[in-house]
Structure 1
Amino acid sequence: MKFTYLLINLACVFFPLVLSFDKKVHFVSKWKFAFPAIGITGLVFLVWDLLFTRLQVWSFNPEYITGPALMGLPVEEMLFFLTVPYACMFIYACLDAYFPITKKDRFSLPLSNLLMGLCIAMIFFGYSRWYTLINFAFLFVVLFFVEYLNHSVRFMAAFYRAFLVSLVPFYIVNGYLTAAPVVLYNPAERSGMEVGTIPFEDHFYLMSLLLMNIYLYEVFKKRAARHGTA
């Protein structure tokens, strides 16, 4: 069905968009922070996506896309960088509104250090595979920056919690995208490890995407609060 990927994008964002007007979360009031974060991050990942499409790291099944594309990148894939980050940032905001973290964060830095260690190991063993190499190198850089070079906002405990919750829709959506398959992966450019039909690397691709979005979102929020425009 030609509209499959488009409908998946719309399904991802429908309920978060409708529920953005919830009185307690009122995510609509945070659009001025969320959309710039999504736009900047989306541009970075679009370049990555275009490069990987050109290198044939992955491709898209023409049976499940409508047809319009930019340099081989379907419009549905470009929408992915709007709908999925929006939905996950909404989850992040909901958890923060209903279950604020009040205890001192003692666990996020050790967890980030473990993840950076995993990144180094995956780069070492998968340096000849484009998806493995770029994916874990990018995540390492973002994690290192947020944990060790960023002194403006601290949010990693809330981020990890939101990421874990986001894995539920991730397994549903990405499970279908990879099982149908809507997205076709070149087996020579990834580790070969999978969770069901989902490449191992996809979990950390999602983590990088969300971490960059939420970091920028928090930076824009703090900047607005400092200038009294929040």
Structure 2
Amino acid sequence: MNTHYTYFIILCCSLAGPLALSFDKKVAFYKKWKYLFPAMVIPALLYIIWDISFTQKNVWSFNENYITGIKLINLPVEEVLFFFVVPYCCVFIYECVLWYFPRLTNKPSANIFLQLLAVVLLIAGIFFYNKKYTSCTFIFNAIFIAILYAQKKYFKTFDAASFLVAYTIILIPFLIVNGFLTALPVVLYNNAENLGIRIYTIPFEDIFYGMLLILLNISIYEKLKSSVAF
């Protein structure tokens, strides 16, 4: 077997289920594509820039044995696709949560939790300022959560409870996929730039790296849906 397609195969397997189920009559996720695809662009661009920078600074790197060798600057094309494939799968799960658990919305406790989390992440990010992955991931999360609530009128359709429940569910497949990527390893991390805390082989920071990616996608996605609705 040609191992150079490993990362690409992992992405294809990740996408297969959500893509096939997008045509389910209840959720009918394919009807939301007109909001989803534009919503994915800005987060993907931000993450690609972030990824390029951190690869240059040796915060992480990629194992040439498991990638095709096609690159955008210093990023494997598979890594670029990651920022579209993962959000697609995660927003699909989020839409399923909205459909099957409609009573989750407008829970004040969820807003309080997310705001407190932002404070904790900001403090931790500042405290670990000398660890690039930890500091940037925590602080960027805190900043965007602050923006969500500071601009509540603009992001009025964002619902913290639905997001938190969805992301809790998302963590299961997210950690499985990241488990493969870090166990082989496809992605190698410089432990000097993170806390050194691992969930199996996955850096603890990955939970919040993924959280921000999905938070960006969902908040923009909801904004686009509401803009068309009105």
Is the TM value for this pair above 0.5? yes
1:179 matched residue in structure 2? 183
* SS of aligned partner of 1:66: coil
Contact preservation (8 Å) 2:179, 2:200:
yes
Give the superposition deviation at 1:103. Answer: 5.9
Stretches of structure 1 lacking an aligned partner (at least 5 in a row): none
Provide the TM-score with structure 1 as the length reference.
0.95
* SS of aligned partner of 1:184: strand
With over 3 angstroms needed to count, the CA separation of the structure-2 counterparts of 1:124 and 1:66, relative to structure 1, is same
* SS of aligned partner of 2:138: helix
Provide the TM-score with structure 2 as the length reference.
0.95
1:134 counterpart letter in structure 2: C
Whether 2:228 is the aligned partner of 1:224: answer: yes
Q: Deviations over 1:40-97 (max 9, x none)?
A: 1101111101111111110000111011001110000000001100000000001111
2:163 matched residue in structure 1? 159
* Aligned pair partner of 2:30 in 11, 28, 34: 28
Taking the TM superposition and a 5 Å limit, the aligned residue runs for 1:36-47 are: 36-47=38-49
Contact preservation (8 Å) 2:105, 2:162:
no
2:92 matched residue in structure 1? 90
Q: Segments of 4+ in structure 1 off by > 6 A?
A: none
Give the superposition deviation at 1:11. Answer: 0.9
How many pairs were matched up?
A: 226
* Structure 1 CA distance for aligned equivalents of residues 119 and 198 of structure 2: 20
* SS of aligned partner of 2:123: helix
2:76 matched residue in structure 1? 74
* Aligned pair partner of 2:112 in 110, 113, 119: 110
With over 3 angstroms needed to count, the CA separation of the structure-2 counterparts of 1:47 and 1:139, relative to structure 1, is same
Give the superposition deviation at 1:156. Answer: 1.1
* SS of aligned partner of 1:59: strand
Contact preservation (8 Å) 1:101, 1:158:
no
Taking the TM superposition and a 5 Å limit, the aligned residue runs for 1:6-17 are: 6-17=8-19
With over 3 angstroms needed to count, the CA separation of the structure-2 counterparts of 1:126 and 1:219, relative to structure 1, is same
RMSD: 1.2
Whether 2:140 is the aligned partner of 1:138: answer: yes
Give the superposition deviation at 1:224. Answer: 0.4
Stretches of structure 2 lacking an aligned partner (at least 5 in a row): none
1:160 counterpart letter in structure 2: L
1:169 matched residue in structure 2? 173
With over 3 angstroms needed to count, the CA separation of the structure-2 counterparts of 1:103 and 1:50, relative to structure 1, is closer
Which stretch shifts more, 164-173 or 102-111? 102-111
With over 3 angstroms needed to count, the CA separation of the structure-2 counterparts of 1:102 and 1:79, relative to structure 1, is closer
Taking the TM superposition and a 5 Å limit, the aligned residue runs for 1:49-68 are: 49-68=51-70
Whether 2:212 is the aligned partner of 1:203: answer: no
Q: Deviations over 1:178-211 (max 9, x none)?
A: 1111100011111111111111110000000000
